[in-house]
Homo-oligomer: A and B are copies of this chain.
């Protein structure tokens, strides 16, 4: 029962925090070799905690890198939802150490904030899921849903072994939806819920023309200058309205529903905020979409880098033999990063003269992810947030990309709920913290979520 679970959580708040202190004291920095034993120690500590609360099949599973901790509780039966919870127990390095007001691995509470490396990203948010499950199991000896938990130890170094792990354990990880708390909400007074992430196709291309740099006094006017050619290609990528001109680029883009556009309009993000952050006055881009839509719900094509010829002081009169650019395209559902890369290449190739060469490098391929705003998962999460925070959440899309979300959605067929409980929290910086009330309300929100998801309210 929901109420008994919440009571148990309330009665054990201090112990839950004390346990989190223990976990935060383990310096499980994934990028430093000297902390390798701490990684193992953190994984073992978490596994022990999970076993202690009644999770089953708990296992510290080796990968080619740091281990994944797995556990499940499947007693709700095959007809109940199965939730796959993801989090990570590794943390960022702590330098510069002298900017910390207290030691990064000796947690303390200052002004309602639990200060320590990993407090928010992601040990605090990860651990509240274990404590939500504990609250339900301890109070009821059963859960309204099945749960499977995976916590990885390589998120801060790019999760190199996570996708292979998911692909080779598809049966074990099979679930009806995913649940991740590794992000932020708008404010304590305004919960928010991300229901979509953009994907990415990051391309580099180099155009090669003459065999060597040519004297521009002797050959200028007779050679299609490769730097000019690269400029022509980039200029042709958008029309004056900011619409991407790569043929087929928008073909698979799922149109925004009126309901969704209404939700996005309610975002408290203002044009003044955009102005402060960019230092500019006037937004650019697709006229038919708001700035929020352009930056989170629409696919984009941006030049991230551009080069050719002489860049030093003064003057040099050459036609460069080659020039190039780095271009990243943010993708939305149902765009396919592989297909978009091919469309991009075809687009560029049309500009290349017969006697020139073009070389491509594909740097990043990431799928977009979307859990429909009217899905049962998103509605249940919104209801859980409103029940706990006293206000319905703002529904938001995230402009960036988190590869594991797309992997879970694509490989396991499970839509993912992104339930971030952080604020700014100085993550990746000195004096990282997690607001204590957010930890506590996070536990309560997850408890609500499981009952709502099971249709028990």
Contacts and interface: CB of A to CB of B under 8 A. Distances in A.
Interface residues of A, number: 79
B320 A279 contact: no
Contacts of A400: 215, 217-218
Nearest to A290: B222
A304 B238 contact: no
29 contacts: A202-B315, A211-B278, A214-B278, A215-B400, A220-B328, A221-B286, A221-B294, A221-B302, A221-B330, A222-B291, A223-B278, A225-B303, A228-B237, A230-B306, A231-B232, A231-B233, A231-B303, A231-B306, A282-B353, A302-B319, A304-B316, A304-B318, A304-B320, A306-B306, A306-B308, A306-B320, A306-B323, A315-B326, A315-B363
B285 A222 contact: yes
Contacts of A285: 221-223
A316 B210 CA distance: 29
A281 interface: yes
Contacts of A218: 295, 399-400
Given A210-B279, A222-B291, 8 more contacts: A202-B315, A216-B330, A217-B400, A218-B399, A220-B330, A223-B285, A282-B354, A305-B308
Given A228-B303, A305-B227, A306-B227, A217 B399 contact: yes
B280 A305 contact: no
A144 interface: no
A293 to B, nearest CB: 9
Nearest to A209: B280
A141 to B, nearest CB: 44
Given A279-B211, A281-B355, A295-B219, A315 B401 contact: no
Interface of A: 198, 200, 202, 204, 209-212, 214-225, 227-228, 230-238, 242, 274, 277-286, 291, 294-295, 298, 300, 302-311, 314-320, 323, 325-326, 328, 330, 353-356, 363-364, 399-401
A328 B286 contact: no
A284 B216 contact: no
A182 to B, nearest CB: 16
